[in-house]
Structure 1
Amino acid sequence: MSGVYLYQNRLLPQEEVHISPEDRGYYFGDGIYEVFRVYNGRLYEADAHMRRLQKSAADVRIELPSEPEQLLHQLVELVAANRLTEGTVYLQITRGEASRSHPFPKAAAPVLMAFTNVLPRPLAAVQSGISIVSMDDIRWLRCDLKTLNLLPNVLAKQHALDRGAGDVVMHRGGTVTECSASNIMIVMGGRIVTHPANNLILHGITRAVVLRLANELEIAAEERPFTLSELMEADEVFITGTTAEITPVIAVDGATIGGGTSGPVTRKLQQAFERSIEAL
């Protein structure tokens, strides 16, 4: 997180970017964000990420400071300015600066900030897999919106790390939703099952890519709620995310999944995902 930032409509050195302490993103979490993956210097699934940003903005009633096409162009310029070849672009838009009061301020203008981050691909985890632990999903009921209110996700991730696991799998009354920053899928009898893209999960871009790839590979996929019991009995489990890519899960709450290694369906999807990167 250094070098050139995009602040409002300008590319600036980091030291020239100044956020007001009265920005509503600071004391209300009143804002939205998006994370774009960069492979070989190019944004991956950029249009899909931008559509999700537009939906989040519309649903929380924040006006985008620029047209989507212009904003994408600015992100491409940001990547080039920082000479980023492999990493992420973080984009954040808050409702703006105003005195601390809950109602929407009448005069505030949205504040946009974006920066790049060098982030190697998670190749070790993608190959070897991770273990996860389960916990109650204590988040609000609009998990489909990518907002700045991430304290429950932060606590969930730390819960996993404190127990020597790579992530958590969250559930509501035994029904699996997702992980701290990724979606989760199971494979049963060669069929992929994942939670429907409703208000209880983030509509992951990599999740959508995987479902598209599964269709192309003629792998059956079903979007329906599934339980912790089904998760524990699955032949394969994997998580999907912008930074996680397609990562196998080899153990849940200490119990081994499948043979404790990446399964055949997961590997087919990983290979297809690699081809989608090469096609950029």
Structure 2
Amino acid sequence: MQSVVLLLLLVLYGSAFEMHETPRLVGNLDYDGSEKQVEKWLDSFHKAARSGDRHQIASHFADEVHMMTCDGGPSRFERTRFNRTTIIDYLVAHGSNVVVKLLESTRSDRRPIHKQVNIWTELVVTGIGKPFSPMVNFFVVNGTLLFFGGEMTYCGYGRPSESTGDGSMSVAYDFLESFARAMRNRTDTTAIAEHFSNDWTIKDYNRRGECTKVWRDETVHYLSTFKPYHSISFLINLENSYYVDDSRDVIKLEASMYNLKPFSDGKVNSTIIMIDGKFKWVDSEHSC
């Protein structure tokens, strides 16, 4: 029964299933209308799930949808796959327990020829054990937005425990989560600036292709105004952190960051330090 309980949380369609347990922070830098469409789907889905009506629930899913549990061995071949009928049967009986929230969404031009719109999303499902975060595609079919499936699921989602490592992971996560909130509303430059010390510098290429230092005010300007490449979504994935000394006022952290110029795409090593009761970035080890 436990494997069935988790089936809604973990999604696969037509590609390798992956499970991760690193803390992720995501969001949209701009808006393309997809968020409103998915939120409308979620409102309708929750009403249908609470009603237990089979027809209403079924109307939210594409015929091709498949889902997997997160139990079993590490390989996707060791996991149980559920088809559309099994999914709907479960939601009819237990759907009122499921809460699905949207973390980010973006339109994509990549879609099967018979699908009119492809919206790529990352969701988080709560209310059944630990939160889970599936990455899901929605397609418009005959004028209706349908849950189609995804390629990856994050089985451990959310804030690390304060007992993880030396305790710095939860503090670093709180700092990055605050920064992510500021980036979701980039018009408030004050909220972005609060995460950087006055001495902050990072190296980046200028318009002439020269590697130069970028200071605090320039960094804030970049972050609040740059045009996203390829996708309107950003990602911060905290991978490791540690306190530098027993004072616990300085933390070295490693995170993967994407679409957050002037931070480079990929792994970023940086330092945050306690200043006036708040942690702030003081430097990044990124070099051009």
Band the TM-score falls in, shorter-chain normalisation: under 0.3
Q: TM-score, normalised by structure 1?
A: 0.24
Where is the strand percentage greater, Structure 1 or Structure 2?
Answer: 2
Q: TM-score, normalised by structure 2?
A: 0.23
